[in-house]
Structures are given as structure tokens and as C-alpha cells.
Structure 1
Amino acid sequence: MSSSRNNGLCVKELEVKYKNEELALGRVDFTLPEHGIYTILGPSGSGKSTLLRAVSGLLPEYRGELLFNGQSLREQDILIGLVPQNYGLLPWKTVKANIRVAMKIANPKGQDRRSQEAQIDRWLSAMGILELADRYPLSLSGGQQQRVAIARAFAIMPSILLLDEPFSALDAITREVLQQLFLEHWQASPATALFVTHDVDEAILLGQKIIVLPSSKSEAPEIMDNEAVFGLEHGQKRASDAFFDQIKRIRKVMQEKW
């Protein structure tokens, strides 16, 4: 049995190369505690999405180690939820059917139909989109589609949750609403979460720590504590001194490493 200090996602000297041996991701080291949430910032090409693909299992070839609760991530039967930037919804399936497909993949033996439907309705209600259950993705707005994607990710009850710039294509008001909605439901049903973003404010609002990837693959990422902001009520964060201080610190790192 792993000790509590080993619990969570441990990334040890993770390195990914393209076929031409060029680095796609330099050596990355960090430990994300179980049920913690870290946000990831980095310039284009720094390896943000590559890091998520390696953790998700979509990128099987890499150097280094990926551990979860002290054991190899690849040798465990762990549910991993993914919320991609492009929503990842099946256009020929209704909203409810999209979530049902994900639940079936996550648990092939399945729940009884009544329990499954209740769980789907619970998450659609939580995201404020129960009335869209029988609609098709292409008939929905971007914000509505992203709510479906978040509901789908939570409905499978993942141990690890990966989010790849999920709100970047949304307008500012919709983005702020979904940031708060996501955080509220992550706190109610916590998973060990990595959240990639290109938005400094979003990284500060949502992360217990912030990983800033450099433009140079030979440099180590900067890992910044953010508890002074994260521990505040969500509505108080933007107006706090800690929020503005963190913006200054991150921009300084960006100037030095980007």
C-alpha cells in the first residue's frame, strides 16, 4: 500500500520526442496530490497538450515515469476523464447518448439502466442543461457543448481529470460562468486534475499550483504555489491583492522563460 505522501499523480523526468528526435516535451517533474488541481501555462509548442496526451495514455512512447498513488499509471485500471478544447462530442448522438457512450466505455459491465439514466440526469442538471438532453451537439452553442463535455467527464467518475484549454473558444462571460461551475463540481466530486490554459487569470483562479512551461525544452518548468488565491471564495479572488501579486509573478516568469 502506498503512503499518503505518495498519493496522487507523480510525473518523473517525463520527456517526449518526435520521430526526428526533436524534443516535444522537455524533462518535467512534479507531484500532483490526489484530488488536487494544477493549472498549466506555456507558450505554443511548449508541450502542454503533449503532457496531457502522455498522462491520458494517448501517447504511449515517452521517457520517464508516470505514477499514480505510488504505482505505474499504465499498470493500473484507472478511469481518466478528458475535456478537450473542441468538445469531442459525437455529432450523430444526442447529448444524453454522448454521455451514455462514455459511461459504457468507462464501465463495460455497466450500471442498470435506471441508475445510469439517473446519473446522466444528475450531471446534466448540475451543468444547467437537462433540457438539452435530446438535442444533437451541432444544434448547441459552444458554451452548451462545453457543458456537455464537462458533464460527460464527471459522469464517468474519473480518478484523473485532464482539461485541454476547454474554455478558450468561449466568450468572456460564458468562460467565467463555466470556470465557476467547473470548480464547484470539481470540489463536490474531486478528481486529480490537470488543467491546461493559455489564460493567466484562468490559471490563477483554478489552480492550487501553477506549472509554467518554458519555451526552451532544456529548461525546467516553474512550479508556483497559488494557495493564497485558491483558498479564497471564488467571487473574491479577482479583487484580492494575492490575485494581482500572482499575476505579477507569473508575468515575470513568462518574460524570463518565454
Structure 2
Amino acid sequence: MTATAQLAPPPPAQQAALLEASGIVLRYPGQPQPVVETFDFALEAGETVSVLGPSGVGKSSLLRVLGGLQKPTAGAVMMNGKPLQGVSPRVSIAFQDASLLPWLSLEKNVAFGLNFKHQPELTSEESKARVDVAIREVGLTHARRYFPAQLSGGMAQRAALARCLARNPEILLLDEPFGALDEVTRTEMQHLLLKVVHNFHTAAILITHDIDEALLVSDRILLLGGAPARIIGEWRIDLPTPREDYIAELGAIRVEILSRLRGATQRRVH
């Protein structure tokens, strides 16, 4: 009997990254050199990536490009394999300032924008359900009728995060949203971020100047440095969360990041 050859199944098609930046250059008019140059990056579904770097290196400018708020001078940003043309309804952005509208209650602030033109059309029942889930997820059900003047700093940031979540995003872009909070509240918000990323199956990019924050919440850390800015270091954190019990492991990575960060800062000064 002659054996018959078995055809191997074809290899699975490589899935495009959720968000991918290729050859990004950002230059402002009148400046002698770009703010950001040759930036290449890929964000996978469910991944949290923190971006560290010296003050003024261009972290926030880069986030605006990745979020479709600003067009790069060169290069391209792709989402789900397609060019990102402006702001996507599948991307939510939160800044250090919660930017709540003072004349609207918390629940109306969370709902604000759900009926904008670029958003998917929702019935009133669907909108209410999204708002209810988002408010509950950030622990503010008791304060849904409060106005922004009645909220603490931490509550305001929770409301801003709920507003992002109500859009059911695939990606959260966070520009130092916890930077103005006290240490205890900041820690609570870091734990909340871990929870909502898991529960909503979203990916996140966090801009932060806090190395410890990046170590506690990130799957991956990128360090920007130089002038113009580019990636000068990358670390993958393969530790379970919460990570407060992994001080020794995180400490070694912290020293390495801090050393690289100091070197980048000194080069910018000189």
C-alpha cells in the first residue's frame, strides 16, 4: 500500500494590529526640526501600553496623532488595517482635565456626545443602557445626579472615564489623566483602569511621567527621547496584576528605565 501525502493546512492569516503607526513624523510650521520622527508602533487588542519621556519631548503631540486629532507630517496611522481618517468613534480620549460641562449632571456629561454625527446611531434606550453601565463601572451610581461642582477631583476623573467607556471604545487614549490627583486617589484610579480595560475588552495607551504608574498598569512601556523624539527604550512587563507584591522585579526594571530616562534628559539639555 502506498502512503498518500497529507497537505498541511495553510498558515493562519496574520491579523492586523488594532492600531499601527508607521514612519510617523510630526513637524510644526516654523520649527527647525520635527517634534517626533520615525515613530513606528503597533497596539494589540487588549493591550495597555504606557509612553514615558522627559517633559516636552512630544508625548501628548504623539497621542493626538494616534487618536486622529492631528494629521502627521509624514507616515500613516492604521486602525484595524484601515487608514485612520480623523477621530474614530471607536477611540475615546481622556485628558488630565476632566473637562466636564458644569451645567450638566454627571450622567448627562457621561452621555454627552453619544448622539454626535460621527457616533453610531443609538436609540434612547441603548444610550441610557450604555450610560448606566459606564457609571456603574466607575463606582458613581450614587452621584449620577450630581453636578461637576459637587465632585472631588477623583470623582471628576471617574466621570471622564465613564464618558469614554459609554462610547464602547476599542481603544482608550489617556493623556496623564491622573496627574493632578493625590497619591491615594491616583492609586485607586490606576486599579480602576486595570478593571475597566479588562471588563470592556479595550486596549489603552497611557501617557504618563510616573514610572511607577507605568510599571503597575502596563503590559508594555515605551520610552521617548531625543530631539526629535523617537523610541529609545521598550520593556514588556510579564507580571500579573495587581503588582504591588512584585517590588523586587519591578524595582530592577524601574532602575533601568530611570537610567535611560536620565541619559535622554541630559542629552536634551546639552
User: What TM-score do the two structures reach when normalised by structure 1?
Assistant: 0.90
Distance 1:73 1:238 in 2: 39
The structure 2 residue matched to 1:92, chosen from 90, 100, 103, is 103
Q: Deviations over 1:13-44 (max 9, x none)?
A: 11111111432222211111122110010111
User: What aligned pairs does 1:1-258 form with structure 2 within 5 A after superposition?
Assistant: 3-21=13-31, 22-74=33-85, 78-105=89-116, 107=119, 109-111=121-123, 113-217=124-228, 219-227=230-238, 229=239, 232-234=240-242, 236-258=243-265
Distance 1:89 1:165 in 2: 16
**Deviation of 1:167 (Å):** 0.3
How many aligned positions are there? 252
- The alpha-carbon distance between structure 1 residues 61 and 252, as it changes in their structure 2 partners (threshold 3 A), is closer
Q: Confirm or deny: 8 A CA contact 1:7 1:33 kept in the other structure.
A: yes
- The alpha-carbon distance between structure 1 residues 134 and 86, as it changes in their structure 2 partners (threshold 3 A), is same
Aligned AA (2:248): D
Distance 2:226 2:100 in 1: 32
Distance 1:97 1:194 in 2: 26
Q: Confirm or deny: 8 A CA contact 1:26 1:220 kept in the other structure.
A: no
Distance 2:229 2:178 in 1: 29
Q: Confirm or deny: 8 A CA contact 1:43 1:215 kept in the other structure.
A: no
Distance 2:40 2:211 in 1: 21
Runs (5+) with no aligned partner, structure 1: none
Q: Tell me the secondary structure at the aligned position of residue 193 of structure 1.
A: strand
Aligned AA (1:85): Q
- The alpha-carbon distance between structure 1 residues 165 and 77, as it changes in their structure 2 partners (threshold 3 A), is closer
User: What TM-score do the two structures reach when normalised by structure 2?
Assistant: 0.86
Distance 2:14 2:164 in 1: 26
**Deviation of 1:168 (Å):** 0.4
Of all paired residues, the percent bearing the same amino acid is: 28
Q: Confirm or deny: 8 A CA contact 1:49 1:196 kept in the other structure.
A: yes
Distance 1:77 1:233 in 2: 30
Q: Tell me the secondary structure at the aligned position of residue 23 of structure 1.
A: coil
Higher mean Cα deviation, 236-245 or 154-163? 236-245
Distance 2:173 2:250 in 1: 24
Q: Confirm or deny: 8 A CA contact 1:27 1:217 kept in the other structure.
A: no
Higher mean Cα deviation, 199-208 or 248-257? 248-257
Q: Deviations over 1:155-180 (max 9, x none)?
A: 11112210000000000000001110
- Structure 1 or 2: more helix by fraction: 1
CA RMSD of aligned residues (A): 2.1
- The alpha-carbon distance between structure 1 residues 189 and 177, as it changes in their structure 2 partners (threshold 3 A), is same
**Deviation of 1:58 (Å):** 1.5
- The alpha-carbon distance between structure 1 residues 241 and 9, as it changes in their structure 2 partners (threshold 3 A), is same
